Structure formats: C-alpha cells, structure tokens
Amino acid sequence: MALTVLAALAAVVAWRLRAGNFRWSAFAASFRGVDWWWFALCVLLNFGGYFVRAPRWEVMLRPVRAGVSVWNIFKATLIGFAALMLLGRPGELVRPYLIATKERMPFSSQMAAWFLERIFDLLMVLAIFSFALTQIPPEAVARHPILDRILSTAGWLAGALAIICFTLLFVLGRYPRQARRRLTAALGVVPAALKPRVERLVSTFIEGMQSVSSRGHLLMLAGYTLLEWVLIVSTTWSVLKAFPATAHFGLTGACIFLGFVAFGSMVQIPGIGGGPQVAGAMALSQILGVPVEPAAAVSLVFWFVSFVVVLPVGVGLALHEGLSWGKLSHLKDEI
C-alpha cells in the first residue's frame, strides 16, 4: 500500500515538475543501497520532534491552568497528526479538542494555544527558508533563469509573513485591550449564532497572549521551538544521509531542502505550484543538482517519515482511548 502511494505521488511530482523524461526504473533504483540505520535514526528523531511539541503546549496553557499533563498532550498530538493524515484539514481540530476534553479545559483556550504554536513555527520556517535563500549556488540560478523570479517572489513573501507574525505577537502581547476592541468590532460580519463562540476564543487568546508575553514564558516557548526545529533539521539531514544520491550533503543542503519543503507547504510557488513533495523535489533537482528521479524519491520518503509513520501509532492510541474516528471526523460540525 505504501509503495503504491509513493508511486502515485511520484507521478504527481514528475508531472508538476514537467519532467517528461521521468524514468521509473531510475526512481525504483533510488531505493537500492538505502542506509537503514540512517532511516531508523530519522524516524526516531521525528518522534522526538513530536514529543517536544507537548511541553511547549503545556507552557502555553500555564496562564490558564498549571499542572496540565504533558503525557496527555503528547498522546493527543500523535492522535491529532494521525487525524490530519486521515481527515485532511478538519483533523486540525482533533488535537485541541482531545486536550480540552482530557484536561477539562475550554476548547477556546486550546485553539488559542494552537494559533500561538503556528506563529512560532512559522517564524522558524521563515528563518530556515531565509537561510536557504542565501545558500543557493549562483550556478543553479544561471542554469534555470525562472528560479530568479521564483526566489525573488518567495523572498518577498517570507519577509511579509515575518513582519505580520512579529506584529501580531507584539500588538497582542503589549496592547491587549486595544486589540480586543479592534477584533470585537471586526466580529460584526460573523453570523449571530457563531458570534459568542468566536468572542470567547478571541478573549481567551488575548488573555493567554498577555500572560505568556512575560520574559520567562517567551524564553521557554522560544527554547522549545528551537529544540523542535533542531530535531526537524536533524531528521531532514538523516533522510538525506540514508540515500546514496544525497548522502554527501551537509546541514546546509538539509536546510535548503527543508526550507523549500516547509515554505512550499504554506504557499503556492509561481510556475511550480504548492505542496511539500513538489517543493522538496524542486529544491533537490533544480537547486542542488540531484537527478529528478532520486530527488522525487527522497522528497516522498521525507514526507512519509514526517507524517505517515505517525499514523499507526496515532490510530493505536485512539483505539486505546476508545475514540470513534467517525465522531472525530464530525468535530467541525460539533464545535
């Protein structure tokens, strides 16, 4: 089943990269000689990255309630990412829902933590992507003139997103009353049935932001975020080391690949499209000079390690908790 999915995704990547001479025999050969010790290490590091999300989430909940179980958050994290794989974007609600239910806390407080987590992760993505842009070999741009336009557009987008994130953190943390007034006034376009719920979410989020804006909380959040992304970069580097075609790349090559994968999962790249698999294959083949077939193989395996390997663990934990996946799939209608 996994091989079928990888082959289907490889076809999509080849089409999106306009690689009309994509050789399936070369794609299959890319998996020969894989170093399984590096592969096992990247899986272990990937689960470490999932675990670090749990104490960071607990820090974000301290202003609401102290003593939240990190283990419960970790289990909810694994179940939540498994739900994201199975249900798509509605699965984003599963993790905050499970934590709120298990810890008997307001769902709005968990959504506020989720949003704050996204801001910190986005800032790290932008930092890695900006570093990647500075490390792109000039000869790669010379070989592919369209890269100049793509990289210029991506650089402007990264800068704009960074400014927006820092502005949100600063305004919500330092001027909570003014932010609450502005956001409350903007809720006039929200349907009356949803307005009380949205107002509670806004209020809880701003209160949480005001509390975590203290120096101690911000340092802890920044520290856990940095540790998480060190593990993600290490996972990326281990995936590259596992394949003969990319084993010679160091941490700089890993950051270039990861920067494009992470940024490509958020935005549509002009002339190429969106999606982490396509962005990763493009970074390897068009920038780092790896042939298209092994580039597609490495990119797809990185996606598999980062997201798919959590699926059996998350499903097993969900069954152990007595959860109904049918109920989880309808969360968007219940919350």
3-state secondary structure (DSSP) of residue 242: helix
| Torsion angle in degrees (nearest 10) through CA of 121, 127, 128, 134 | 160
Look at residue 22 and tell me whether its pLDDT is greater than 80. no
Among 148, 127, 160, residue whose Cα is nearest residue 262: 127
| pTM for the full predicted model | 0.80
Domain locations in the chain?
Answer: 32-334
Do 184 and 199 touch, CB atoms closer than 8 A? Answer: yes
**Would you state the pLDDT for residue 200?**
67
Q: Work out the percent of the chain whose per-residue pLDDT is above 90.
A: 19
Tokens of 273: 């499209």
Paired strand residues for 273: 269
**Would you state the pLDDT for residue 190?**
61
Look at residue 20 and tell me whether its pLDDT is greater than 60. no
* Residue owning tokens 């307005």: 195
Do 321 and 58 touch, CB atoms closer than 8 A? Answer: no
Do 105 and 64 touch, CB atoms closer than 8 A? Answer: yes
Look at residue 74 and tell me whether its pLDDT is greater than 90. yes
Residues 220-248: pLDDT tens digits? 888 999 999 999 999 999 999 999 999 99
Look at residue 29 and tell me whether its pLDDT is greater than 70. yes
For residue 37, name the pLDDT band (cuts at 50, 70, 90): very high
Look at residue 162 and tell me whether its pLDDT is greater than 50. yes
State the Cα–Cα distance between residues 264 and 273, nearest whole angstrom: 8
Look at residue 211 and tell me whether its pLDDT is greater than 60. no
Look at residue 63 and tell me whether its pLDDT is greater than 70. yes
**Would you state the pLDDT for residue 124?**
85
